């Protein structure tokens, strides 16, 4: 007698469904070509989008710079740089504005660099990381970086001119108004407060990039904390510190709003002789030529030439930052080997 073999009947509703892992393995095993094509298309789309964004930024930059060079090169000359404005600023040059900008930037640098670098060294090397005071200072620095520049001008007017300057006049000048008015000194100090977050953040980042092993090795050799910071850590982070300082200087050279209340003059062909004199500024000079000139068409070549000088000054400052950083890195890399 033959034996009957019984096969199991399929469950109702069809064959059992595969698990998610089995489905993923099945898809991966079934379509490797499709997955490869999809990844390549995604990479291509990302490259095209990012490249287009970069090309757009470069195009805008070239258009702006090209327009300024085309319209400003005709009046750009040594006489334009070294002479004073004439005929109601419809002729002449920009030397008082250039001198005032350089003088303000120098005073601002002397004020902001020591305070900013010292603050960053304290926050990163000495202050307890979890201290409420340290957190409060960091929050204040971050908030200070986001304050509109016009607010710094109002602060400089109220604090430096009406409080500090007027107090100095009452104590030292017998009530005569000398320091209690807009001046080069107050404008430089206001710009120092504006650019201080840039210096602090850049210095902290530079100190953070120094390996901790260098600090530990210095302390293990018997050096004090002070010696370790100023003979090991700061020299290693000096390229970043200088870069942040020069970037802060370039920003200070182009800001106009804070100095409108604290020291800049509308038209002043003479140079400032003391710290309590007013001064002309390249950025404010551009604003005056473009909005308040009695003859806009006559001053348009001067306007473009002034903008060209301001752009050259800013580019030189940023280029110097790159050169200094590169040379300092090569120097320390050679010393390490």
DSSP letter for each residue of 24-50 = HHHHHHH-HHHHHHHHHHHHHHHHHHH
CA distance 310 to 291: 18
**Tens digit of each residue's pLDDT (9 = 90 or more) over 39-62:** 899 899 999 999 999 999 999 999
> Would the pTM count as exceeding 0.85?
no
pLDDT of residue 155: 94
Min mean pLDDT across 41-45, 226-230, 250-254, 328-332 is at: 328-332
pLDDT of residue 96: 92
H or E segment to which residue 223 belongs: none
Count of beta carbons in the 10 Å neighbourhood of residue 105: 21
DSSP letter for each residue of 224-293 = -HHHHIIIIIHHHHHHHHHHHHHHHHHHHHH--GGGGTTTB-SS--SPP-STTS-B--HHHHHHHHHHS-
CA distance 85 to 98: 11
Q: For domain 70-78+86-332, give the CATH number.
A: 1.10.3720.10
pLDDT tier at 7, thresholds 50, 70, 90: very low
**Tens digit of each residue's pLDDT (9 = 90 or more) over 290-327:** 888 777 777 888 899 999 998 888 888 778 777 877 78
Min mean pLDDT across 63-67, 191-195, 221-225, 327-331 is at: 327-331
CA distance 31 to 34: 5
Q: Quick check: helix, strand or coil at residue 83?
A: coil
Is 129's pLDDT higher than 50? Answer: yes
All structural domains of the chain with their residue ranges: 70-78+86-332
Q: Who wins on pLDDT, 184 or 334?
A: 184
- Give the list of residues 6+ apart from residue 256 with CB closer than 8 angstroms, or none: 264, 281, 283, 284, 287
191 close to 201: Cβ distance less than 8 angstroms: no
Please give the structure tokens belonging to residue 44: 């291509």
CA distance 81 to 306: 9
Pure H helices in the chain: 20-30, 32-72, 78-82, 95-121, 132-145, 149-155, 166-172, 184-208, 212-220, 225-228, 234-254, 282-291, 296-336
């Amino acid at each position: 007698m033959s034996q009957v073999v019984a096969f199991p009947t399929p469950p109702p509703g069809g064959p059992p469904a595969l698990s998610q892992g089995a489905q993923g393995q099945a898809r991966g095993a079934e379509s490797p070509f499709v997955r490869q094509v999809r990844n390549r298309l995604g990479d291509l789309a990302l490259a095209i989008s990012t490249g287009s964004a970069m090309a757009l930024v470069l195009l805008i930059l070239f258009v702006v710079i090209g327009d300024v060079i085309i319209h400003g090169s005709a009046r750009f000359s040594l006489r334009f740089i070294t002479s004073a404005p004439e005929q109601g600023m419809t002729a002449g040059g920009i030397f008082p504005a250039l001198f005032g900008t350089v003088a303000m930037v120098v005073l601002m640098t002397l004020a902001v660099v020591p305070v900013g670098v010292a603050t960053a060294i304290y926050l990163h090397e000495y202050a307890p990381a979890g201290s409420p005071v340290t957190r409060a200072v960091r929050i204040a620095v971050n908030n200070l970086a986001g304050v509109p520049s016009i607010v710094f001008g109002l602060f400089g007017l109220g604090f430096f001119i009406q409080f500090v300057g007027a107090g100095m006049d009452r104590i030292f000048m017998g009530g005569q108004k000398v320091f209690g008015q807009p001046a080069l000194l107050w404008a430089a100090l206001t710009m120092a407060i504006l650019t201080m977050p840039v210096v602090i953040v850049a210095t902290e980042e530079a100190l953070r990039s120094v390996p901790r092993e260098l600090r530990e090795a210095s302390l293990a050799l018997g050096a004090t904390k002070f010696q370790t910071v100023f003979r090991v850590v700061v020299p290693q982070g000096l390229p970043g510190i200088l870069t942040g300082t020069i970037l802060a200087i370039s920003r200070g050279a182009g800001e106009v709003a804070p100095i409108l209340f604290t020291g800049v003059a509308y038209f002043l062909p003479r140079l400032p002789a003391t710290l309590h004199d007013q001064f002309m500024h390249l950025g404010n000079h551009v604003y005056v030529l473009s909005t308040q000139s009695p003859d806009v068409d006559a001053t348009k070549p001067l306007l473009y030439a002034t903008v060209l000088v301001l752009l050259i000054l800013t580019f030189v400052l940023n280029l110097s930052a790159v050169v200094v950083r590169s040379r300092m890195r090569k120097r320390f890399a050679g010393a390490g080997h």
